[in-house]
Amino acid sequence: MTQMLQASHSLSVATEGKGFIDITGALASWLEDIGGGNGILTVFVRHTSASLTIQENADPNVRRDLGDALEALAPEGAHYAHQEEGPDDMPSHIKAMLTSVSLGIPVVDGKVTLGTWQGVYLIEHRASPHRRTVVLSFIGQTARAEASPRATG
């Protein structure tokens, strides 16, 4: 009989400033560590100036172009009322709002069901390095098969 599993974990991600940080391997490793089988993995970033995305993991130019597009949508040089935390702060909030702070990813046989060319990324929107917290939550079946109880009679 397969047992149900609910687990959570905080992943600390160091950034070097603006850019995409691939966290796909860390998610896969954690699922393996907890013995997650079939279920749903929720990934949530606890910040308002960083975000998450699932994007192409083959050509780094895709991520560069996406970063350029976000810069065009929320440039640092624009006049924003919120200026207290520097010129990159308000554009970072806008970029986080336009992307995602939470992702739900199906898990089958202990593996995230990403497409061939997909990876999960933390997007750092601030110019300076930060340490970001990504909260992981899995709910589903365990990968470890338990012996089925036998009927007695």
pLDDT tens digit string along 81-120? 998 899 999 999 999 999 999 999 999 999 999 999 999 9
Residue 71's alpha-carbon distances to 16, 131, 134, 139, in angstroms, are 17, 21, 23, 36
Q: What would the mean pLDDT of 59-70 be, rounded to a whole number?
A: 96
* Res. 132: pLDDT tops 80: yes
The C-alpha atoms of residue 114 and residue 99 are separated, in whole angstroms, by 18
Domains, the chain, ordered by start: 4-142 (2.60.120.460)
pLDDT of residue 62: 97
pLDDT of residue 87: 92
User: In 57-115, where do the E strands start and end?
Assistant: 102-108, 111-112
Place of tokens 């589903």: 140
* Res. 77: pLDDT tops 90: no
The C-alpha atoms of residue 18 and residue 91 are separated, in whole angstroms, by 12
Name which residue leads in pLDDT, 1 or 42. 42
Q: What would the mean pLDDT of 39-59 be, rounded to a whole number?
A: 97
* Res. 151: pLDDT tops 50: no
Q: What would the mean pLDDT of 126-151 be, rounded to a whole number?
A: 81
* Res. 147: pLDDT tops 60: no
